[in-house]
Chain A
Amino acid sequence: MRSTIARLLIKRIFSSIIILFLIITFLFFLVRISPGDPVQKFVNPTLSPKLAEQVRESLNLDKPIHMQYIGFLTSAISGDLGVSYNFRRDVSSVILEYLPFTLLFTSVSFIFQMIVSFWLSIKSVKKINGLFDRALSNITLLIYATPVFVTGVFLVFIFSELLNIFPSSGLSSYDSADFSFWARLTDYIYHLILPIITLSLIEIAIFYKYLRDNLEDVYNKLFVLNLRASGVSEKDILLKHVIPNAINPLITIAGIELGIMLGGTLIVEVVFGLPGMGRLIIEAIFTRDYPLVIGCSLVVSFLIIFSNFLADIIKAFLDKRLLTGSLN
């Protein structure tokens, strides 16, 4: 048992590393074949060509392409992602400044999504094809067809413009520096409610659909009938037998959706003007700050690979069959 776990882990880590390696390679060649000379970003054309040569040397651009590639690879592995043109700082330190917000934001909305979609699907599966169930399936279809930024803009219009309940953008009020700790915390939460709802709605629709269908499938299985016949209470059937059986495919979906959610975060951060990775990457792209763009892309893809990895591991531990048998 233990050896299978170890083998699984090693295999999974190995394939993750290969994918990460492929992504680094892909990014490297993408940037190299793109038009434009990176040296021009650093050097003013009126300065001497000698300086340009020096910069070219310091960026390793004078070497042949395979040497450049190896240099890029080693520095990427050692965490040195170069210097940002805009911030004039290490890319890694810039990313570390913006990453915590995105991680916090994504994980809070992930938990929110899980809770809401669980609650909704259990409620609607209680009476399949009931009014609640049918209404919800239509609403989720509508939400699924709405792009994230449209949801965001509509929510801002309704809640900030018409009802004036929530602020429309930013992370804190302009005078929040004078607030006490608790007042500042509530201020943050107050600003984050709309973004979290925006990011979560579409994911809730997806999770709800999967969870509801899974729950319905399990409810129709014979063992549930058997349990009912044996007089087990409905609550026990749901909590102890149905949910554990229905949850497994959801974890795979959740691992994939976490990746898609990071893409959604990009747009939500732009809609609401929040200081996170999404805004950073968009700003970096618009100002042609290539080291920062590549750094951000690497970090984001690492996060996604890691979340898929985590989902697979959790799934394997929940479903022991995957460990002993046919996991590949």
Chain B
Amino acid sequence: MKNRFKIWQFLLLIWIITLLIRFELLINTYDLIFSWLILLISDLDTALSQISFDLLDSMIAGILFIVIPLLSIIYRKKLGFLYGKVFPAAIFLILLITCFLFAPLISNKNPDFYKNIGITKLLPPLSSVQVLHFKNDQNFQPSESFEKFLFLKDKVVKKSFDESIQYLDSISTGGKIIYYQNGIGKEANRESLLLRVKDPFITKQMFILGSDQFGRDVLTRLIYGARISLMVGFGSVIISLIIGLTFGFLAGYGGGLPDAVFSRFTDMLLSFPIIFLVVLILALFGNSLLSVIVVLGFSSWMSLFKVVKTEVLSIKEKNYFVSSKLLGLSKKQLLFNEVLPVIIVPIIVNVIFQFGNVIIAESALSYLGLGLGNNYPSWGSMIQSGQEYLSLAWWMIFSPGITLIFTLLSANSFGISLSRKLNPRLQND
């Protein structure tokens, strides 16, 4: 039974679970996209001025939620891995990529959301807090299309603040409604509260992985932190792939002087601890998402360079390569048609290990405070802030730490199993 569980079934499971849990949000998201499109036609300037990162993020996640399953059904013949068996590393990587793409759908809060720090700070995992709901304009019926758009945007895009709720310790509802926060009682006006029959509407909110020193939900921050790690990982791996491939091909194909120059340059970079170089460049040129990606990409192409160079050196002597060169193929054609298909396996394996290394480097940078700053949650910076509260809140270091370890473990084991699967020599054994 266990062996029959395929990857596409797992993906479908995730899709259905997300659909069921976030049904209302999804409907609102599509409504939002629709009303934005109407706005785009009727009033272009207003529609464009409303665009923010969070809005785009939610809308793209909503679209991808439909488009990706459709595309994978249409192209299922080409996506052979969908029929592969599920293994732990694949499960973890799929979950990470889901977090990466659909973070606004999966999490129900803004990662920077905090309220009533006195009550919600440093809560242990699985603890829940009572929430008192105040009236907001729920029953407001928008008439104009722009008003409707704003109303939906308010519902879909998560904000880092919320005026309509209060976290509380306890509440007394006899006659006057008094809610207690940190031992101080406050009276709430019955008119302003959201009522269920006669009692005030109180829900419980659970912090599954606890909360940090500002009362922010650790799980939400973990989900959003996956985005940074994967984004930096993908981005810098692509950069290092381009550089390593080009330099390696030029050095191996050219031989002589280009080889000497590129090899000396690689030796120089290798003899310098990469983290020092990265830290130095980030300090000199400032740290943003783009600079972190570029710097890590530029500092991790050396092993790929060596792999490509040695492979090209051996391919250069082969008859088929010489004949296609004599046929007059350009360097670009030689690289993409003759060399790349032969060396794709070592490259893919190298790239996957590189991916793990880059994620380590990014989290180390965030830990040192040189990552993306405090603007965006990152696993490394979560561990850094957790270290200050080590004696009070162990969950603040353990949840990001263990997620980081699992990510790297699954990347490594994915690389190993892929290299086994793709290597024809090992398959024959």
B255-283: CB near A (< 8 Å → 1, else 0) gives: 00000000011011011111111011101
Taking a contact as CB atoms under 8 Å apart, the answer to whether B401 and A22 are in contact is: no
Taking a contact as CB atoms under 8 Å apart, the answer to whether A19 and B264 are in contact is: yes
Taking a contact as CB atoms under 8 Å apart, the answer to whether A145 and B412 are in contact is: yes
With a cutoff of 8 Å between Cβ atoms, the chain B residues found around residue A18 in the complex are 264
With a cutoff of 8 Å between Cβ atoms, the chain B residues found around residue A154 in the complex are 397-398, 401
Q: In the complex the two chains form, what is the Cα distance from A154 to B400 in whole Å?
A: 11
A67 contacts chain B at the CB level, 8 A cutoff: no
Contact A300:B391 (CB < 8 A) given known A22-B265, A147-B363, A150-B404: no
Point out the residue from B272, B368, B387 that lies within 8 Å of A153, measured CB to CB.
Answer: B387
**Shortest CB–CB separation between residue B357 and chain A, in angstroms?**
10
Q: In the complex the two chains form, what is the Cα distance from A126 to B408 in whole Å?
A: 30
- Interface size bracket, B side: 35 or more
With a cutoff of 8 Å between Cβ atoms, the chain A residues found around residue B383 in the complex are 149-150, 153
The secondary-structure label for the interface of chain A is: helix
B341-384: CB near A (< 8 Å → 1, else 0) gives: 00000000000000010001001100111100000000010010
With a cutoff of 8 Å between Cβ atoms, the chain A residues found around residue B267 in the complex are 19
Taking a contact as CB atoms under 8 Å apart, the answer to whether A285 and B412 are in contact is: no
Taking a contact as CB atoms under 8 Å apart, the answer to whether B412 and A297 are in contact is: no
With a cutoff of 8 Å between Cβ atoms, the chain A residues found around residue B281 in the complex are 30
Point out the residue from A23, A153, A266, A285 that lies within 8 Å of B268, measured CB to CB.
Answer: A23
Point out the residue from A23, A141, A293 that lies within 8 Å of B409, measured CB to CB.
Answer: A141
Q: In the complex the two chains form, what is the Cα distance from A189 to B292 in whole Å?
A: 37
B392-426: CB near A (< 8 Å → 1, else 0) gives: 00100110010011001100110000000000000
Residue among A31, A150, A305, A308 with the highest chain B CB neighbour number at 10 A: A150
Taking a contact as CB atoms under 8 Å apart, the answer to whether B273 and A262 are in contact is: yes
With a cutoff of 8 Å between Cβ atoms, the chain B residues found around residue A34 in the complex are 284-285
**Shortest CB–CB separation between residue B419 and chain A, in angstroms?**
15
With a cutoff of 8 Å between Cβ atoms, the chain B residues found around residue A145 in the complex are 356, 405, 408-409, 412
**Shortest CB–CB separation between residue A22 and chain B, in angstroms?**
5
B386 contacts chain A at the CB level, 8 A cutoff: yes
Point out the residue from A19, A26, A153, A263 that lies within 8 Å of B273, measured CB to CB.
Answer: A263
Number of A-B pairs, beta carbon distance below 8 Å:
124
**Shortest CB–CB separation between residue B220 and chain A, in angstroms?**
21
With a cutoff of 8 Å between Cβ atoms, the chain A residues found around residue B386 in the complex are 153
B322 contacts chain A at the CB level, 8 A cutoff: no
Taking a contact as CB atoms under 8 Å apart, the answer to whether B367 and A149 are in contact is: yes
B392 closest partner in A (C-beta): A161
- Interface size bracket, A side: 35 or more
Q: In the complex the two chains form, what is the Cα distance from A267 to B366 in whole Å?
A: 11
With a cutoff of 8 Å between Cβ atoms, the chain A residues found around residue B391 in the complex are 161
A281 contacts chain B at the CB level, 8 A cutoff: yes
With a cutoff of 8 Å between Cβ atoms, the chain A residues found around residue B380 in the complex are 149
The secondary-structure label for the interface of chain B is: helix
Q: In the complex the two chains form, what is the Cα distance from A267 to B270 in whole Å?
A: 19
Q: In the complex the two chains form, what is the Cα distance from A271 to B370 in whole Å?
A: 15
Taking a contact as CB atoms under 8 Å apart, the answer to whether B401 and A285 are in contact is: no
A86-115: CB near B (< 8 Å → 1, else 0) gives: 000000000000000000000000000000
B56 contacts chain A at the CB level, 8 A cutoff: no
B27 contacts chain A at the CB level, 8 A cutoff: no
Q: In the complex the two chains form, what is the Cα distance from A288 to B280 in whole Å?
A: 10
A120-157: CB near B (< 8 Å → 1, else 0) gives: 00000000000000000000011011111110011011
A308 closest partner in B (C-beta): B271
Interface residues of A in 207-257 (CB under 8 A from B): 256
Contact A285:B272 (CB < 8 A) given known A22-B264, A146-B405, A150-B401: no
Q: In the complex the two chains form, what is the Cα distance from A23 to B383 in whole Å?
A: 33
Interface residues of A in 258-282 (CB under 8 A from B): 259-260, 262-263, 266-267, 270-271, 281-282
Taking a contact as CB atoms under 8 Å apart, the answer to whether A31 and B273 are in contact is: no
Taking a contact as CB atoms under 8 Å apart, the answer to whether B390 and A153 are in contact is: yes
A64 contacts chain B at the CB level, 8 A cutoff: no
A301 contacts chain B at the CB level, 8 A cutoff: yes
**Shortest CB–CB separation between residue B376 and chain A, in angstroms?**
19
Taking a contact as CB atoms under 8 Å apart, the answer to whether A161 and B412 are in contact is: no
**Shortest CB–CB separation between residue A230 and chain B, in angstroms?**
32
Point out the residue from A30, A160, A262, A263 that lies within 8 Å of B284, measured CB to CB.
Answer: A30
Interface residues of A in 4-26 (CB under 8 A from B): 18-19, 22-23, 26
Interface residues of A in 135-185 (CB under 8 A from B): 141-142, 144-150, 153-154, 156-157, 160-161, 168
Taking a contact as CB atoms under 8 Å apart, the answer to whether A260 and B285 are in contact is: no
A304 closest partner in B (C-beta): B271
Taking a contact as CB atoms under 8 Å apart, the answer to whether B360 and A147 are in contact is: yes
Taking a contact as CB atoms under 8 Å apart, the answer to whether B412 and A293 are in contact is: no
Taking a contact as CB atoms under 8 Å apart, the answer to whether B364 and A148 are in contact is: yes
Taking a contact as CB atoms under 8 Å apart, the answer to whether A301 and B272 are in contact is: yes
With a cutoff of 8 Å between Cβ atoms, the chain B residues found around residue A144 in the complex are 412
Taking a contact as CB atoms under 8 Å apart, the answer to whether B390 and A267 are in contact is: no
Taking a contact as CB atoms under 8 Å apart, the answer to whether B405 and A270 are in contact is: no
Taking a contact as CB atoms under 8 Å apart, the answer to whether B265 and A157 are in contact is: no
Taking a contact as CB atoms under 8 Å apart, the answer to whether B279 and A146 are in contact is: no
**Shortest CB–CB separation between residue A90 and chain B, in angstroms?**
20
Taking a contact as CB atoms under 8 Å apart, the answer to whether B368 and A304 are in contact is: no
Taking a contact as CB atoms under 8 Å apart, the answer to whether B265 and A142 are in contact is: no
Taking a contact as CB atoms under 8 Å apart, the answer to whether B412 and A260 are in contact is: no
With a cutoff of 8 Å between Cβ atoms, the chain A residues found around residue B356 in the complex are 145
Q: In the complex the two chains form, what is the Cα distance from A174 to B360 in whole Å?
A: 34
Q: In the complex the two chains form, what is the Cα distance from A271 to B386 in whole Å?
A: 12
Can you name 30 A-B pairs with beta carbons within 8 Å? A18-B264, A19-B268, A23-B272, A26-B268, A35-B285, A145-B356, A145-B408, A147-B360, A149-B364, A149-B367, A149-B383, A150-B401, A153-B386, A153-B401, A156-B390, A259-B273, A263-B273, A263-B274, A266-B275, A266-B276, A266-B279, A267-B275, A271-B387, A286-B283, A286-B369, A293-B283, A297-B272, A297-B280, A304-B273, A305-B271
Beyond contacts A30-B281, A157-B390: 19 other A-B pairs, Cβ-Cβ < 8 A, are A19-B267, A22-B265, A23-B271, A30-B284, A35-B285, A147-B408, A148-B364, A149-B383, A150-B404, A153-B387, A154-B397, A259-B270, A260-B273, A267-B367, A270-B368, A297-B272, A297-B277, A300-B276, A304-B272
* Chain B residues close to A by CB (< 8 Å): 264-265, 267-268, 270-277, 279-281, 283-286, 356, 360, 363-364, 367-370, 380, 383, 386-387, 390-391, 394, 397-398, 401, 404-405, 408-409, 412-413
